[in-house]
């Protein structure tokens, strides 16, 4: 029993990590229908910038509580990533707004490669460790353990999802976003500056990516210039699972993917009588993904898709 | 010159050029560039195959490399010490292509209702599933030899004539990569020919109809299921064939050669070159195979221009490649050589 | 009309023609080219660069002292290529090195890249010494050009299993591998040897070489209560894995191979690293003649040793010693001298068996004590 509870906690935390990144993905997708392949790299930049600030502060012997130092790192990373996100949209995506659908996908991959290699040049090829400045304690729940950082990740992803949903549903900007998503031309006729709205979407999405990056690297204790790729991929899968473009869907998809992976890795051996092991964890996850999409071709919470092949 | 004469002249010049290419390249640039030529031909074959699925039928496939893997493993397992089997290439290549085609159907069947990015993520998952199975099927029964890969794969032998070693023909010495070049060239030309004929065939027009508007296509009597499945199967066959050639050429394969990044790169080739347009797709494949290799020489360039190496070429290579992808797309968003039909779509937009 | 395309083609042509120019200028008979091939981009770039650095240090040292072959002073030139840890790129790179006229190659990093490349070096008759490839298949192809200055999976796996069962007295062992050629090979050999020594493998779990989350498999392992958790993989996985073990309260000794026996591991795992045990082939660097000096020189020039740079460093010396004995840098001549290698390097005493593997390859076990790897004991493999 405690093993099952532990596996569920493992899955939910892992899922929240995916959800954090997926939220940014899905925001951009919702408005532009663009798979922003570089989103994972923006997340990586967030982690790297924060780490640079944190190690500079620690190196200078600043006498502040760990949480404050981490927060300072985060507060530098957020605007840095926002700027980066704005720049990416402006330089690599905006000129292709009316190009064939797959063209921005290629620039997105290009941006992703460029960002990885710039990060490699700046921060080197090594893995960088995230100093243990956040609380390291844990709590016991039904025989299972949950750490402070894990709780932080769960809470952060939930708070961000709610905040973003409120932003999209309740604010002027949110209304403009939804209008632009439906039809940039019509929104323009209604006095919405589509370019501004899209820029803001990228800025907000990238800000969230920074938060995700910092939390992820704090949780696993490391950062690396290549970390964004796989993270982005999983987050993208999560977003699609939940119904891409839908914020609650990204959260649901993320959590579900995390739990599926966790239970898959934990129990696949028992289910198949030891024939398959945790090496088939991803097979299991993708299998569930495929089944879900066959039953619901637009994801769990997605609207039926219109033709956009 | 009449137009007809001109066409003949171009054709003959092209034929001579392609025939002499590996000899000139080996003499001028070294044998590694002949290997790069060989790989380029394989990638052209892959890109032409993926173009059937993505360019003709408009089905976004991010797991295409799986078919390449199926073909490669089919060849490797039946012509290596792994099972002690050493079947000839004329059995292996068609078997691999056929098997890949069957896998294409397997992928296509459950995904008929999916579109766009949902299809992309499912195909991506399919590609990963195949790779994970190849990587793990060494227990409980050792089939693929797992991450260790399959080594000592037989080279391609045509009637006792091995492409795997240096041969003397008509008083000229041909290295193994050169021999492979000619073999790959013939098969690539056949693949291109088939793809070109498909485009203008009844099926090709049906694919185009589906791509433009699925509902309208269905209304005009096109069997969506069969037509889509055919696209998947056809595309996969090309991939399987290329995979078999790759296994014979390399002599060693392991699952890490068939990762997601490869699928993405092949997709980049066709989008960059000009989706749906065969010359464009070929150009895209050539560029994206040659460019990363050419960028290896930025160190030499620095030495020649500045006198010493300022920035480590390894640091710059992929960075420049990324920039090149972005710039090429920004300047020619429809691809370097866009297809006329796709171009029309653009204008209507 | 196609300006970007034209530019790209032009760049390709210009750079290609420059290559030929450089290629010809390099045929200077006083320059002996040695290749180094390892991933310099991608997720393993840090270890790949480390290999190159190790080789470069040796080359520069030899040049500083001055190398004389058959009465003629020669200068070594190290040509480093990026194989991206990709088997396909590895063969291209191998051919490129051969084309550029290298007389020997130090590389590659991964078994997956080393094996396909070894055929090209064999066809060209060029000796290859891998500082880090451990797959048994590498030297099993029957190529007389393939050598390594690293123990193979069987040697290290057996030594580790022996240590786990005899020294640690483990009866129940859990094994995790990262599904790379390295991890799977080492884990399989470890499992075989541990079973032969009477231990029970209570769990065999898997991860990937890109994962950072191991909570699920560790939770599953915890339910089997093993005394030892053995991980076959690299430090970026080993460190967070150990942290998560502590976090979940898995009370087992953490044991790993050479992939985790790095300073980076301690840095990444922080306080949790304390008590972890990992092996590395050869003898402890600090106890070797010249070992401390090597470390100092390396640190001064390239910073921290990542992992295999001492092996790459030794590999260059092994190669050059063979050239000295043959009085020639001609691969056809000094290849014959390679089997006679008997060299005292910073990683140990290097001699080769018939296949090109290390004979009597020693494996040293280390434990993290007070934030440092401290040698525990050395096991000589049979």
How far is it, in rounded angstroms, from Cα B278 to Cα B193?
10
CB contact at 8 A, C124 and C98 = yes
How far is it, in rounded angstroms, from Cα C295 to Cα C298?
5
A128 bridge partner residues: A223
Angle between helices B224-250 and B176-200 (to 10 degrees): 170
Residues C97 and C232 in one domain: no
Please state whether beta strands C253-256 and C349-351 pair in parallel, antiparallel, or not at all (unpaired).
unpaired
What pLDDT was estimated at residue A154? 94
Q: What is the largest CA-CA distance in chain C?
A: 74
What pLDDT was estimated at residue C336? 94
Quick check: helix, strand or coil at residue C260? coil
pTM: 0.90
Quick check: helix, strand or coil at residue B121? helix
How far is it, in rounded angstroms, from Cα C283 to Cα C381?
12
Of residues C14 and B134, more confidently modeled:
B134
C280 bridge partner residues: C364
What pLDDT was estimated at residue A261? 92
Q: How far apart are the first and last CA of chain B?
A: 41
CA C228 distance to own-chain centroid: 25
How far is it, in rounded angstroms, from Cα A96 to Cα B161?
51
What pLDDT was estimated at residue C7? 46
Report the neighbours of A using a cutoff of 3 or more CB pairs below 8 angstroms: B, C
pLDDT at residue C24 above 50? no
The region of weakest confidence among A182-191, B183-192, C243-252 is A182-191
C130 bridge partner residues: C148
Domain over B29-275 is classified CATH 1.10.3470: yes
Question: Binning pLDDT at 50, 70 and 90, where does residue A1 land?
Answer: low
Count of domains for chain A: 1
C137, part of any domain: yes
Q: Give B57→chain C minimum CA distance, Å.
A: 27
* DSSP designation for B144: S
What pLDDT was estimated at residue A245? 83
Question: Binning pLDDT at 50, 70 and 90, where does residue A279 land?
Answer: confident
* A103/B116 touch (CB, cutoff 8 Å), yes or no: no
A302, part of any domain: no
Question: Binning pLDDT at 50, 70 and 90, where does residue C265 land?
Answer: very high
pLDDT at residue A297 above 60? yes
Residue of A nearest to C210 (CA): A230
* Angle (nearest 5°) at CA C220 between C217 and C225: 120
C26, part of any domain: yes
Contact list in B for residue A113 (CB cut-off 8 A) is: 318-319, 321-322, 325
C342 bridge partner residues: C351
In this complex, which of B291, B301, B317 lies closest to C41 when CB atoms are compared?
A: B317
Residues C173 and C295 in one domain: no
* A220/C240 touch (CB, cutoff 8 Å), yes or no: yes
Q: Mean of the per-residue pLDDT values for chain A?
A: 89
How far is it, in rounded angstroms, from Cα A109 to Cα A100?
16
Interface contact C26, partner B, CB < 8 A: no
How far is it, in rounded angstroms, from Cα B148 to Cα B131?
13
* C270/A3 touch (CB, cutoff 8 Å), yes or no: no
How far is it, in rounded angstroms, from Cα B26 to Cα C316?
29
Quick check: helix, strand or coil at residue B306? coil
* B267/A121 touch (CB, cutoff 8 Å), yes or no: no
Q: Domain range for residue A25?
A: 2-129+136-295
CB contact residues (below 8 A), chain C span 122-141, against chain B: 123, 135, 137, 141
A300, part of any domain: no
From the list A41, A85, A104, the residue with the least C-alpha distance to A202 is: A85
- In sequence order, the 6+-apart residues with CB closer than 8 A to the CB of B75 are B92, B93, B96, B153, B243, B244, B247, B248
Report the pLDDT averaged over residues A304-309. 47
What pLDDT was estimated at residue B1? 59
Quick check: helix, strand or coil at residue C125? coil
From the list B90, B137, A224, the residue with the least C-alpha distance to C237 is: A224
pLDDT at residue C18 above 70? no
Quick check: helix, strand or coil at residue C231? strand
- In sequence order, the 6+-apart residues with CB closer than 8 A to the CB of A172 are none
C128-144, pLDDT tens digit by residue? 999 999 999 899 989 99
Q: Which CATH number belongs to the domain containing residue C261 in this structure? A: 3.40.50.2300
Question: Binning pLDDT at 50, 70 and 90, where does residue A307 land?
Answer: very low
Query: C146 phi and psi, to 5 degrees?
Result: -95, 120
Question: Binning pLDDT at 50, 70 and 90, where does residue A2 land?
Answer: confident
For testing contact with chain B, the best of A110, A233, A285 (most B CBs within 10 A): A110
* Angle (nearest 5°) at CA C156 between C152 and C160: 165
Contact list in C for residue A120 (CB cut-off 8 A) is: 41, 45
Q: Mind giving me the DSSP string for C312-378?
A: HHHHHHHHHHHHHHHT---HHHHGGGGGG-EEE-SS-EEEB-TTSPBTT-EEEEEEEETTEEEEEEE
Interface contact A287, partner B, CB < 8 A: yes
Residues C193 and C305 in one domain: no
Report the pLDDT averaged over residues C336-361. 91
Quick check: helix, strand or coil at residue C229? strand
From the list B189, B185, B184, B164, the residue with the least C-alpha distance to B176 is: B164
Which helix (H) or strand (E) covers residue C170, if one does?
A: none
Residues C12 and C139 in one domain: yes
In this complex, which of A230, A262, A277 lies closest to C215 when CB atoms are compared?
A: A262
- Whether the link from the prior residue into C74 is cis, omega within 30° of 0, is no
A304, part of any domain: no
How far is it, in rounded angstroms, from Cα A224 to Cα C211?
12
Q: How far apart are the first and last CA of chain C?
A: 68
Residues C144 and C15 in one domain: yes
How far is it, in rounded angstroms, from Cα C100 to Cα C98?
5
* C81/B296 touch (CB, cutoff 8 Å), yes or no: yes
Q: Mind giving me the DSSP string for B69-87?
A: HHHHHHHHHHEETTTTEE-
Q: Do the interacting molecules here have an ipTM over 0.95?
A: no
* DSSP designation for C72: E
Quick check: helix, strand or coil at residue A222? strand
What pLDDT was estimated at residue C81? 92
What pLDDT was estimated at residue B341? 62
CB contact at 8 A, C249 and C276 = no
Q: Domain range for residue C251?
A: 153-281+363-380
A278, part of any domain: yes
Contact list in B for residue A105 (CB cut-off 8 A) is: 267, 271
The region of weakest confidence among A144-153, A262-271, C32-41 is A262-271
CB contact at 8 A, B299 and B311 = no
Which helix (H) or strand (E) covers residue B172, if one does?
A: strand B172-174
How far is it, in rounded angstroms, from Cα C303 to Cα A123?
14
Angle between helices A103-123 and A227-242 (to 10 degrees): 140
What pLDDT was estimated at residue A141? 85
- Whether the link from the prior residue into B140 is cis, omega within 30° of 0, is yes
pLDDT at residue C27 above 50? no
A303, part of any domain: no
From the list A188, A186, A288, A249, the residue with the least C-alpha distance to A29 is: A249
Count of domains for chain C: 2
pLDDT at residue A308 above 50? no
* Angle (nearest 5°) at CA C174 between C172 and C176: 165
C1, part of any domain: no
Quick check: helix, strand or coil at residue C30? coil
Residues C184 and C245 in one domain: yes
Contact list in B for residue A123 (CB cut-off 8 A) is: none
Q: What share of chain A is helix, strand, coil (3-state, %, to 5)?
A: 75, 5, 20
What pLDDT was estimated at residue A183? 85
Where helices occur in B160-223 by DSSP H, the ranges are 176-200, 202-212, 214-219
Residues C14 and C37 in one domain: yes
The pLDDT tens digits along chain B (349 residues) read 578 888 899 889 999 999 999 999 999 988 999 999 999 999 999 999 999 999 999 898 989 999 999 999 999 999 999 999 999 999 999 999 999 999 999 989 888 888 777 888 889 889 999 999 999 998 888 999 999 999 999 999 988 888 888 888 888 889 999 999 999 999 999 999 999 999 989 999 999 999 888 889 999 999 999 999 999 999 999 999 999 999 999 999 999 899 888 998 899 999 889 888 999 999 999 999 998 888 888 777 777 777 666 677 767 778 888 998 899 889 888 888 887 765 554 444 3
Report the pLDDT averaged over residues C199-222. 93
Query: C364 phi and psi, to 5 degrees?
Result: -105, 135
Report the neighbours of B using a cutoff of 3 or more CB pairs below 8 angstroms: A, C
What pLDDT was estimated at residue C5? 47
From the list C325, C40, A240, C232, the residue with the least C-alpha distance to B125 is: A240
How far is it, in rounded angstroms, from Cα C76 to Cα B242?
40
C356, part of any domain: no
- In sequence order, the 6+-apart residues with CB closer than 8 A to the CB of B159 are none
What pLDDT was estimated at residue A309? 35
Radius of gyration over every alpha carbon of chain C, rounded to an integer in angstroms: 22
pLDDT over 90 percentage in chain A: 57
pLDDT at residue A142 above 90? no
What pLDDT was estimated at residue C29? 67
CB contact at 8 A, C348 and C373 = no
* A107/B326 touch (CB, cutoff 8 Å), yes or no: yes
Report the pLDDT averaged over residues A28-42. 88
From the list A71, A42, A38, the residue with the least C-alpha distance to A54 is: A71
Q: Which CATH number belongs to the domain containing residue A41 in this structure? A: 1.10.3470
Angle between helices A227-242 and B116-136 (to 10 degrees): 120
CB contact at 8 A, C310 and C346 = yes
Q: How many CA atoms lie within 13 A of B7 on its CB side?
A: 3
Residues C25 and C106 in one domain: yes
C357, part of any domain: no
CB contact at 8 A, C36 and C52 = yes
Residue C84 Rama label (left phi>0; alpha psi -120 to 50; beta)? left
* C268/A221 touch (CB, cutoff 8 Å), yes or no: yes
Residue of B nearest to C139 (CA): B151
pLDDT over 70 percentage in chain C: 92
Residue of A nearest to C212 (CA): A220
């Amino acid at each position: 029993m405690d093993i099952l509870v532990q596996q569920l906690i493992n899955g939910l935390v892992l899922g929240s990590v995916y959800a954090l990144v997926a939220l940014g993905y899905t925001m951009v997708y919702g408005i532009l229908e663009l798979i922003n392949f570089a989103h994972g790299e923006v997340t990586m930049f967030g982690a790297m910038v924060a780490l640079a600030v944190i190690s500079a502060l620690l190196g200078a012997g600043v006498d502040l509580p760990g949480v404050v130092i981490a927060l300072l790192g985060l507060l530098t990373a957020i605007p840095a990533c926002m700027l980066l996100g704005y720049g990416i949209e402006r330089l690599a995506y905006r000129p292709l707004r009316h190009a064939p659908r797959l063209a921005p996908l290629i620039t997105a991959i290009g941006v992703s490669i460029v960002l990885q290699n710039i990060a490699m040049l700046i921060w080197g090829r090594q893995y960088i460790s995230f100093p243990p400045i956040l609380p390291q304690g844990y709590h016991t729940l039904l025989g299972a353990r949950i750490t402070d950082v894990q709780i932080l990740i769960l809470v952060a992803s939930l708070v961000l999802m709610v905040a973003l949903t409120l932003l999209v549903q309740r604010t002027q900007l949110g209304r403009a976003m939804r209008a632009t998503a439906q039809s940039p031309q019509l929104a323009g006729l209604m006095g919405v500056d589509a370019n501004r709205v899209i820029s803001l979407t990228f800025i907000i999405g990238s800000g969230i990516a920074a938060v995700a990056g910092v939390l992820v690297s704090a949780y696993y204790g490391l950062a690396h210039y290549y970390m964004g790729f796989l993270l982005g991929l999983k987050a993208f899968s999560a977003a699609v699972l939940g119904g891409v473009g839908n914020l609650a869907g990204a959260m649901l998809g993320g959590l579900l993917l995390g739990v599926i992976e966790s239970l898959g890795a934990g129990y696949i051996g028992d289910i198949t009588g030891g024939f398959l092991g945790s090496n088939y964890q991803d097979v299991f996850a993708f299998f569930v993904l495929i089944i879900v999409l066959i039953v619901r071709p637009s994801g769990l919470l997605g609207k039926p898709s219109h033709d956009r092949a | 010159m009449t137009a007809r004469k001109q066409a003949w002249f171009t054709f003959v010049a092209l034929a001579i050029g392609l025939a002499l290419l590996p000899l000139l390249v080996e003499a001028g640039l070294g044998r590694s560039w002949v290997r790069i030529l060989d790989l380029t031909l394989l990638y052209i074959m892959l890109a032409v195959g993926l173009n059937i699925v993505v360019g003709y039928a408009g089905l976004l496939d991010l797991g295409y490399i799986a078919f390449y893997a199926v073909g490669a493993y089919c060849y490797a397992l039946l012509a290596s010490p792994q099972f002690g089997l050493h079947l000839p290439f004329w059995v292996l290549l068609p078997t691999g292509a056929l098997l890949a085609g069957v896998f294409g159907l397997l992928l296509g069947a459950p995904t008929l209702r999916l579109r766009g990015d949902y299809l992309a993520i499912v195909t991506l998952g399919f590609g990963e599933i195949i790779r994970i199975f190849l990587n793990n099927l060494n227990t409980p029964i050792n089939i693929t030899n797992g991450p260790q890969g399959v080594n000592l794969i037989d080279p391609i032998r045509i009637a006792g004539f091995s492409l795997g070693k240096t041969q003397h023909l008509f008083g000229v010495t041909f290295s193994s990569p050169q021999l492979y070049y000619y073999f790959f060239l013939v098969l690539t030309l056949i693949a291109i020919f088939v793809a070109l004929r498909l485009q203008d065939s009844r099926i090709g027009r049906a694919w185009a109809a589906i791509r433009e508007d699925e509902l309208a296509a269905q209304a005009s009597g096109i069997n969506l299921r069969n037509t889509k499945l055919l696209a998947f199967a056809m595309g996969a066959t090309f991939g399987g064939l290329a995979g078999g050639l790759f296994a014979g050429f390399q002599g060693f394969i392991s699952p890490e050669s068939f990762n997601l990044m490869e699928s993405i790169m092949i997709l980049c080739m066709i989008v960059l070159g000009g989706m749906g347009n065969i010359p464009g797709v070929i150009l895209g494949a050539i560029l994206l195979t040659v460019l990363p290799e050419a960028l290896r020489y930025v160190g030499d360039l620095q030495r020649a221009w500045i006198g010493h190496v300022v920035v480590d070429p390894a640091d710059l290579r992929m960075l420049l490649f990324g920039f090149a992808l972005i710039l090429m797309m920004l300047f020619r968003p429809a691809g370097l050589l866009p297809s006329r039909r796709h171009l029309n779509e653009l204008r209507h937009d | 009309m196609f300006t970007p395309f034209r530019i790209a083609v032009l760049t390709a042509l210009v750079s290609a023609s420059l290559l030929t120019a450089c290629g010809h200028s390099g045929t200077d008979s006083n320059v002996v080219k040695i290749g180094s091939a390892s991933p310099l981009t991608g997720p393993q770039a840090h270890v790949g660069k480390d290999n190159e650095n190790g080789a470069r240090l040796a080359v520069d040292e030899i040049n500083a002292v001055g190398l004389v072959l058959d009465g003629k002073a020669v200068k070594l030139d190290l040509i480093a290529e990026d194989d991206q840890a990709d088997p396909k790129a590895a063969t291209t790179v191998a051919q490129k090195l051969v084309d550029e006229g290298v007389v020997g190659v130090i590389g590659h990093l991964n078994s997956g890249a080393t094996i396909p490349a070894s055929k090209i070096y064999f066809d060209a008759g060029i000796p290859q010494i891998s500082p880090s490839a451990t797959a048994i298949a590498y030297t099993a192809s029957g190529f007389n050009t393939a050598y390594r200055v690293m123990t193979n999976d069987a040697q290290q796996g057996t030594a580790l299993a022996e240590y786990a069962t005899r020294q640690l007295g483990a009866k129940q062992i859990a094994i995790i591998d990262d599904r790379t050629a390295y991890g799977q090979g080492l884990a399989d050999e470890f499992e075989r040897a541990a079973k032969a020594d009477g231990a029970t493998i209570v769990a065999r779990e898997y991860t990937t070489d890109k994962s950072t989350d191991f909570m699920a498999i560790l939770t599953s392992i915890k339910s089997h209560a093993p005394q030892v958790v053995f991980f076959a993989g690299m430090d970026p996985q080993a460190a967070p894995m150990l942290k998560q073990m502590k976090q979940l309260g898995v009370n087992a000794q953490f044991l790993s191979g050479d992939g985790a026996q790095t300073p980076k591991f301690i840095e990444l795992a922080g306080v949790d690293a304390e008590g972890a045990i990992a092996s590395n082939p050869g003898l402890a660097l600090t106890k070797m003649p010249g070992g401390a000096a090597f470390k100092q020189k390396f640190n001064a020039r390239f910073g921290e040793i990542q992992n295999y740079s001492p092996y790459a460093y030794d590999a260059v010396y092994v190669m050059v010693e063979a050239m000295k004995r043959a009085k020639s840098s001609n691969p056809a001549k000094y290849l014959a001298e390679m089997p006679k290698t008997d060299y005292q390097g910073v990683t140990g005493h290097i001699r080769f068996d018939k296949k090109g593997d290390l004979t009597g390859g020693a494996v040293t076990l280390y434990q993290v004590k007070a934030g440092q790897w401290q040698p525990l004991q050395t096991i000589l493999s049979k």
